[in-house]
Structures are given as structure tokens and as C-alpha cells.
């Protein structure tokens, strides 16, 4: 993986320009599959995310009760945070324990390994 080390303002707030993002994306593409910089190449995005970015996926549904607004996403800031999910196979809700940095969206969850 290529380090994302961008300039920072006071209080460690990142300052990211369009040019920095373009250069970073090109460097990542070059390292992952240099052919994709010259030709149209089909990418297995799950392979890229899991093997190159070292993300671990688990597809699940975030639980919300009757009359509640759907939860659009969640991020764990601490190890041990809990998230209520809906287990479709068992048709019940459950709590899962999260690792710091885990993120969840309606289509699935991902976390840095």
C-alpha cells in the first residue's frame, strides 16, 4: 500500500488538493496493475479492496426498529463498540462487537485488518 501523507493545517486537519488525489490514485493504480494506466482493464474491485487495501468485508443489515428512521451508516471509533444488526437467516436482531475503524453502510461493512 502507498502511504497517504498529505499536508496538514493546524490541529492536524488534512489539506488535500485535486492534484494530490489524482497523483495518489495514479500511484496506487500503477502499483496494483500498471496496465490499467494504458488500457481499459476490468478490475475485480473486491479483490482490490481485500488484497491491496487490506479491507475485510462482512455483508449485513443494520437494524432499525419499527417507526425508526433507517440507519444509513456507522463508524466505530473504539474497540468494543457495538452495533445492532438484523440477522436475516435467523430472522432476529443481534449485536456485533466492532473493531476501531470499522465502517458500515447499507450494502455491507468493511474494516481495516
Confidence of residue 113 (pLDDT cuts 50, 70, 90): very low
Q: Is residue 40 over pLDDT 80?
A: yes
The number of domains in the chain is 2
Question: Pairing mode, if any, of strands 103-105 and 108-112?
Answer: antiparallel
State the sign of the Cα–Cα–Cα–Cα dihedral 105, 97, 78, 8.
Answer: negative
Give 74-84 pLDDT, tens digit per residue: 788 888 888 88
What is the arithmetic mean of pLDDT over 53-73? 78
CA distance 6 to 24: 10
Domain that holds residue 17: 10-43
Q: Are residues 62 and 34 in the same domain?
A: no
The continuous run of DSSP H or E covering 23 comes out as helix 18-32
Same domain as 99, residue 68: yes
- Give the Cα separation of 106 and 104 in Å (integer): 7
Q: What does the alpha-carbon distance between residue 33 and residue 15 come to, in Å, rounded to a whole number?
A: 28
Amino acid at each position: 500500500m502507498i502511504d497517504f501523507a498529505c499536508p496538514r493545517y493546524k490541529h492536524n486537519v488534512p489539506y488535500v488538493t485535486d492534484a494530490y488525489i489524482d497523483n495518489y490514485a495514479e500511484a496506487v493504480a500503477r502499483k496494483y496493475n500498471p496496465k490499467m494506466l494504458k488500457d481499459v482493464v476490468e478490475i475485480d474491485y473486491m479483490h482490490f479492496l481485500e488484497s491491496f487495501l487490506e479491507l475485510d468485508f462482512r455483508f449485513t443489515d443494520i437494524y432499525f426498529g419499527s417507526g425508526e428512521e433507517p440507519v444509513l451508516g456507522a463508524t466505530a471509533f473504539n474497540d468494543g463498540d457495538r452495533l445492532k444488526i438484523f440477522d436475516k437467516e435467523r430472522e432476529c436482531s443481534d449485536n456485533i462487537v466492532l473493531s476501531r475503524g470499522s465502517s458500515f453502510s447499507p450494502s455491507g461493512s468493511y474494516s481495516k485488518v
